[in-house]
Amino acid sequence: MIEILYFDGCPNHEGLQHVRALLTEAGVELPITVRRIDSDAEAKAERFLGSPTIRVNGIDVDPTAAPRDTYGLLCRVYPTGDGLRGTPPDASILAALQRQPPGGRAG
């Protein structure tokens, strides 16, 4: 399963409309759930590092995310070869799909 978490007020998640096309191109058929985070308390409970957060089977696509705990209603940026961007690189999403077996959930 793929989750896209966001909060209203951050435009970064709007750039993720290509995720479905990326998955189709990669031959991946997984459900995509889009969830809005509405409060700091919910952000903490969901381990929400900012908008957008993309998870594959519960694991953030950003391999550097695991030790972080800066949860809240923030716009998230991702390092890329072209500098910081408001969405994770496609390569990170595809790599996360390869690390996590379909239907599996890493602890």
Give pLDDT tens digits for 61-87: 998 899 999 999 999 999 888 899 888
Can you tell me the distance from the alpha carbon of 84 to that of 102, in angstroms, rounded to the nearest whole number?
A: 29
- How far apart, in whole angstroms, are the C-alpha atoms of residue 104 and residue 82? 32
How crowded is residue 20: how many other Cβ atoms within 10 Å of its Cβ? 12
Distances (CA, A) of 80 to 43, 50, 74, 76, 90: 25, 17, 19, 13, 10
Going along 1-107, which residue ranges are E strands? Answer: 2-6, 32-36, 53-56, 59-60, 78-80, 83-85
Note the pLDDT of residue 105. Answer: 43
Say what the pLDDT of residue 97 is.
87
pLDDT score at 107: 37
Q: How confident is the model at residue 102 (pLDDT cuts 50, 70, 90)?
A: low
* pTM of structure: 0.84
Residue 24 confidence (pLDDT): 85
Tens-place pLDDT, residues 15-41: 677 788 888 888 888 888 999 999 999
Dist. CA 41–CA 47, nearest whole Å: 10
